[in-house]
Amino acid sequence: MEKDELNKSANPRQTSKNADDKAQESFRQNASFAEKILAEEGIFSCQGGEHDIRKLARERIEGMLNAEHLLPLPLEEKQHVGRSGINQWIWDHKISKDIAPDILKEYLESCISNNPWYFYVKLKAMTELQVEMCRFHKLPALSLTSDHFLQSEALQHLAARFATSKVKKLIVGFLQERSEALGLLEEKAPLTHVRRQGKKVHPRAHEYFEQLVKEGISKDTQRHFLEHAHHLFSWLSKNMRDFNGIEADEIPIFQITATHLEEFRAYLLKKVREGTYSKITFCHCIYLLRSFFRFLSRKYGFPAPIRRFKAITAPRYKQRDLPSDEEIKLFFEAVDTYSDEPIIERIGYSLMLFLGLRLNETAQLTWKDINISTGTISILSKGGKPHLLPLPKRVLEDLKSAQRQQPSGKYLLGTNLKTIALRLYRNFKLYSLIAGWTYPGGVHFFRHIFISRLGGQNILPQAIKELSRVVELNTVSLYMHLAQQKDRLLTEINKLQY
């Protein structure tokens, strides 16, 4: 346990005498070998011989990263507005066009001085409110008027069905006040708000949840883990004699055996056959719970009872549209126009888009991880593995500009790790909105774009695996959208010897 903790706190710049702990450059200088395995025949041209992709020539890898179609189009110079102009943009381009009832505009106008993120959150809540009122009144959005939102019955419905967050409760409270002032609602009439009791979280599940947060894993994954863990513990409490009478959040975790998990797996498979669970949901549940038990095994040293707790064959990949070069250009123009620190934020998003860094990897970078003279960056990847990668040219240019401004923060992008990650995540949503993006998901989308674009260059899957720093070669297939149509990629990857 102590060794694991030491490894987690190790700096990627610090080298160890142990060969396994060395921060090795992912692609060593070996031009002749690189030319041999990256022949022009294509991505699957190499059928035999040596496959150590880490020996790829540095210049060839830089060529991949600096390919013109992987870098952003030159940005047009626009007047810098700063963060204070985001709310006005939202008002001019979204609220004035998408929010019809005057009463809703009145509320949003009173909030226009809010932090841009919270103003955006309130816009999203207003959009959901309109949809809810369309269902309640059975009217199209354009037919809704302020009166439809101020009726007593409508407010009761909103309090019971809509007011599920702090922001939504504030909106319903505002509507109630206006309704009372107009005499439509009896003064101080009690509204029945839904009191949703949250599920109790098992202490060990909470430990793993905190680890997921620390690693910067997406909020969807965090939420899904808690749901699947609660499902497991509730099922054990209700169906296994060993846990009868024990609350789900008090299940003795180290008494869970392989037999218990096999029974739970059989129950889930039954749900799949009945159509209640999809195959992909079944697999996600298994993967997350296996990771959970492996985490407990590492931390507490007990054997993980997961040997026969396995997933089934299911399509792990969901086709995703990707932004065009022009759309990516618009995103970075939004950064340059509306960010208070355009160079710093452009560096953060560029590292995720053009090197495939994860959010937490980007947030934890320091200036000591950057070597301007050699054009390299040291990355502490998922699982605490160090990598040294070449920097794309345009990212290097921004880093030089930032360095000339004599930065004083503890980290490359700021002073507080959590604040950096939160700012990048939230601002991604704002800049995406301004750029006209409608793609689902958060800032991790940049990593999908990076790996997908590499996949379109006829690069060996092993090279993509090293550049993207994934553990399993099979994972590469999840990102390579161009090969999805004919299912050729996964078939060929499975044939490779590596």
Count of Cβ atoms closer than 10 Å to residue 79 Cβ: 6
Render pLDDT for 304-321 as a digit per residue (tens, 0 to 9).
999 999 988 776 555 678
For residue 26, name the pLDDT band (cuts at 50, 70, 90): very low
Q: What is the pLDDT of residue 347?
A: 96
More confident residue, 35 or 98: 98
User: What pTM does this model have?
Assistant: 0.67
| In the block, residue with structure tokens 């395995």 | 37
For residue 480, name the pLDDT band (cuts at 50, 70, 90): low
Q: Are strands 370-371 and 376-380 parallel, antiparallel or unpaired?
A: antiparallel
For residue 148, name the pLDDT band (cuts at 50, 70, 90): very high
User: Would you say residue 48 has pLDDT above 50?
Assistant: no
For residue 393, name the pLDDT band (cuts at 50, 70, 90): confident
User: Would you say residue 242 has pLDDT above 60?
Assistant: yes
Supply the Cα-derived Rg of the chain in whole angstroms. Answer: 26
Q: How does the average pLDDT of the chain come out, rounded?
A: 80
d(C-alpha 121, C-alpha 136), whole Å:
23
Q: What is the pLDDT of residue 7?
A: 37
Of the given ranges (44-48, 117-121, 417-421, 441-445), which has the lowest mean pLDDT?
44-48
Average pLDDT over residues 138-143: 91
User: Would you say residue 157 has pLDDT above 80?
Assistant: yes
For residue 191, name the pLDDT band (cuts at 50, 70, 90): low
Average pLDDT over residues 175-198: 70
User: Would you say residue 206 has pLDDT above 70?
Assistant: yes
- The separation between the first and the last C-alpha atoms of the chain, rounded to the nearest angstrom, is 31
Q: What is the pLDDT of residue 411?
A: 93
Q: How far is CA 126 from each of CA 118, 119, 139, 172, 174, rounded to the nearest angstrom?
A: 12, 11, 17, 10, 12
d(C-alpha 18, C-alpha 403), whole Å:
33
- H or E segment and range at residue 388: strand 386-390
- H or E segment and range at residue 371: strand 370-371
User: Would you say residue 488 has pLDDT above 70?
Assistant: no
* List of residues 6+ apart from 437 with CB closer than 8 A: 323, 327, 331
Q: Could you tell me the strand order of the sheet in which 370-371 lies?
A: 370-371, 376-380, 386-390
Q: What is the pLDDT of residue 74?
A: 56
DSSP H stretches of helix in 275-322: 279-300
For residue 184, name the pLDDT band (cuts at 50, 70, 90): confident
DSSP-based helix, strand, coil % in the chain, nearest 5: 60, 5, 35
For residue 198, name the pLDDT band (cuts at 50, 70, 90): low
For residue 446, name the pLDDT band (cuts at 50, 70, 90): very high
Q: What is the pLDDT of residue 46?
A: 35
Q: What is the pLDDT of residue 326?
A: 93
Q: What is the pLDDT of residue 269?
A: 94
Average pLDDT over residues 378-388: 81
For residue 453, name the pLDDT band (cuts at 50, 70, 90): confident
User: Would you say residue 344 has pLDDT above 50?
Assistant: yes
User: Would you say residue 295 has pLDDT above 90?
Assistant: yes
d(C-alpha 374, C-alpha 57), whole Å:
15
State phi, psi for 27 to the nearest 5 degrees: -135, 105
Eight-class DSSP state of 275: T
More confident residue, 480 or 450: 450
Q: What is the pLDDT of residue 36?
A: 33
For residue 13, name the pLDDT band (cuts at 50, 70, 90): very low
